Structure 1
């Protein structure tokens, strides 16, 4: 008795079609995973930019003109000191891109901080999307004057 190799079933002309379907379906699944992963990462980066802007505005808002405040005058933001406080806070947080302005509202000077952070996409870059997305967070603070 000799052993023979098992005979191959004759094909129906559809050999390999399942593999092509799985390859195409896998690309779709990877695209959905990429959208989810990079979308969540971009939202986290936006939230971080907004949090940094809020904290930097608070730090800048604490830089008041002490001489005027000590004499009993109004509490006003010392703009040069506020710029330094914002820059120091953001530098300690590892962020460099920011803009500071001092709008005047109802006779009171506010401090407005805009922080820009770049998010590097990791998955969607494989599908031809831009690899970097810039997000911006913005916050405003004011010096609070104590009431009577």
Structure 2
């Protein structure tokens, strides 16, 4: 006796497209969410680095004029450099740390949080970002550092 397979009917296939559609839609939304939020984090990271670099530049412009005019060397005023860089950070809405060891360099580190748009649905509501910037005080004559 041979067993024959009965032909598939519409009743046997009922609901299979629905489960496939739900699963594939979820995967696509998750993929788009990852792309959007990781791109947003990269943008926030670049912004944090840019703010740190610009704050260091502003701090590095706070030179001790008297010593430079007398030819004793070029140094930043450490107190004014830190204040100027912190003011820049505050104006940019970013938190961070600033130091000017010895007046020869201004170091800035920024910290921020990127709030996710899509990934909060899976429990990842924010991603930390940070940036670092440095301005070195140098004297150049004829394009050559002295």
Aligned partners of 1:31 and 1:127 also within 8 Å: no
2:90 is paired with a residue whose SS is helix
Give the aligned length: 134
Give the Å deviation of 1:103.
4.7
Aligned partners of 2:41 and 2:114 also within 8 Å: yes
Aligned partners of 2:86 and 2:98 also within 8 Å: no
Give the corresponding residue for 1:5: none
Q: Which is further off, 40-49 or 130-139?
A: 130-139
Task: State the 4+ residue runs in structure 1 displaced beyond 3 angstroms.
Answer: none
Matched, 1:137 2:135: no
TM-score, scaled relative to structure 2: 0.84
- For residues 101-120 of structure 1, what are the structure 2 equivalents within 5 Å? 101-103=99-101, 109-120=104-115
Aligned partners of 2:49 and 2:132 also within 8 Å: yes
In structure 1, stretches of 5+ residues that fail to align are: 1-9
Query: Alpha-carbon deviations, 1:65-89, whole Å to 9, x = none?
Result: 1221122211111111011110111
Aligned partners of 2:96 and 2:108 also within 8 Å: yes
2:104 is paired with a residue whose SS is strand
Give the Å deviation of 1:117.
1.4
TM-score, scaled relative to structure 1: 0.83
Give the corresponding residue for 2:97: 99
Aligned partners of 2:78 and 2:101 also within 8 Å: no
Give the corresponding residue for 1:124: 119
Distance in 1, matches of 2:87 and 2:99, equals 16
Give the corresponding residue for 1:3: none
Give the corresponding residue for 1:70: 69
Query: Alpha-carbon deviations, 1:34-89, whole Å to 9, x = none?
Result: 01000100000000011111111100000111221122211111111011110111
In structure 2, stretches of 5+ residues that fail to align are: 1-8
Aligned partners of 1:110 and 1:142 also within 8 Å: yes
